[in-house]
Amino acid sequence: MAISILLNGYKGRMGQAVIAACSDLGVTVGAQVDVGIDPTSAIDTCDVIIDFSSPKATQGLLELAKVKGKAIVIGTTGHTAEEKKLLLPIASQVPCVWAGNFSVGVNLLFALTRQASRILGSDYDAEVIEMHHRFKKDSPSGTAARLLEIILEERKLNADALRHGREGITGERTNTEVGVHSLRGGDVVGDHTVLFAALGERFELTHKASDRAIFARGAVRAAQWVSGRKPGVYDMQDVLGLA
Ligand code: NAD
């Protein structure tokens, strides 16, 4: 189905990658919006909003999608738990794909992390390590946050189990904690490692993105998939048929 996109955050790194992906995939970018541009009138000629901007923009875009009966793809990361709690009920009233990572490889990493957590169990200490470019504003990354959620779900732990880095006399590691470490530097597009360490062996799952085109193509694919679907919050696992 031919669709037209309203792109929010078009001046940014991901915005530019989405414009290139639309051109490659033959999808029309009907409107390009960024800070200081009101999307209200531009939305009428578009079918789906794609957003790669800032968490501050999400509520307004979701409300616009709801009022105008449009679908939305949210790629922006960095929302707090409180923000998500407020936004999810609005998102569920529109066809919405909300994913911390749109790459096919990372979505396979999500599935393998769940399987490894289930098979290895709590005898294996789990830690998540991520690295991104120096310009990234949120930490840990949305992808790391999703990997941690999966590990916590499988281990029946809550967010209190997370250890965001370690410093000083921290004491011995317990098997009810899950470590997370964010590295920042240079132009790294996005590296994620999930590490499971036991006495006698270590198992690591790693994904390295070298071109943000993979996220942009995934987001455009999600926009094509979600347009015309019934309201609900979907993720990339649904788009790829992995759910
Ligand atoms: P960036 O800083 O290069 O670009 C952000 C753009 O959004 C800028 O042009 C900025 O002016 C604009 N912007 C900021 N606030 C806005 C607002 N309120 N309304 C409209 N536009 C606004 O950042 P980036 O590297 O392009 O990343 C953007 C977001 O996408 C980040 O949250 C990042 O973590 C996320 N991201 C997600 C994925 C994924 O697969 N889900 C992949 C890469 C990046």
Q: Which structural domain, as residue segments, surrounds residue 131?
A: 104-209
Same domain, 162 and 179: yes
According to DSSP, residue 42 is labeled G
Regarding whether 146 and 73 lie in a shared domain, the answer is: no
pLDDT of residue 243: 76
Give yes or no for a contact between 220 and 22, defined as CB atoms under 8 angstroms apart: yes
Mutate to test the pocket of ligand 1, among 7, 11, 14, 16 (most ligand atoms within 8 A of CB): 14
Do 44 and 8 belong together in one domain?
yes
Q: What SS3 state is found at 100?
A: coil
Phi/psi for 4 (5° steps) reads: -120, 135
- Do 227 and 191 belong to one domain? no
pLDDT for res 41: 87
- Catalytic site residue from 79, 136, 181, 192: 136
**Cα-to-centroid distance, 171 and ligand 1 (Å):** 38
Is the beta carbon of 98 within 6 A of some atom in ligand 1? Answer: no
**Torsion sign, CA atoms 112, 78, 63, 212:** negative
pLDDT at 242: 80
Whether residue 18 sits in one domain with residue 98? yes
Query: Do 186 and 225 have their domain in common?
Result: no
Q: Are residues 130 and 163 in the same domain?
A: yes
Active site residue 136: yes
pTM: 0.88
Ligand 1 contacts CB of residue 35 (under 6 A): yes
Can you give the CATH number for the domain in which 235 is found? Answer: 3.40.50.720
Q: Is residue 95 domain-shared with residue 175, that is, in the same domain?
A: no
pLDDT for res 39 = 95
Task: Give me the CATH number covering residue 136.
Answer: 3.30.360.10
User: How many residues would you count in the chain?
Assistant: 243
**Of 70, 79, 132, 181, which is the active-site residue?**
132
Tell me: do 191 and 229 sit in the same domain: no
Same domain, yes or no: 234 and 165? no
pLDDT along the chain (243 residues), means of 10: 94 98 96 95 95 97 98 96 96 97 94 96 97 96 95 96 97 96 97 98 98 96 97 95 82
Q: How far apart, in Å, are the Cα atoms of 45 and each of 16, 30, 64, 66, 229?
A: 21, 7, 13, 15, 18
- Dig out the tokens for 177 from the structure: 């904690």
Please check whether residues 176 and 218 belong to one and the same domain.
no
The number of domains in the chain is: 2
Token code pair at residue 53: 């901007």
Q: Do 116 and 44 belong to one domain? A: no
Contact predicate 183/198, CB 8 Å: no
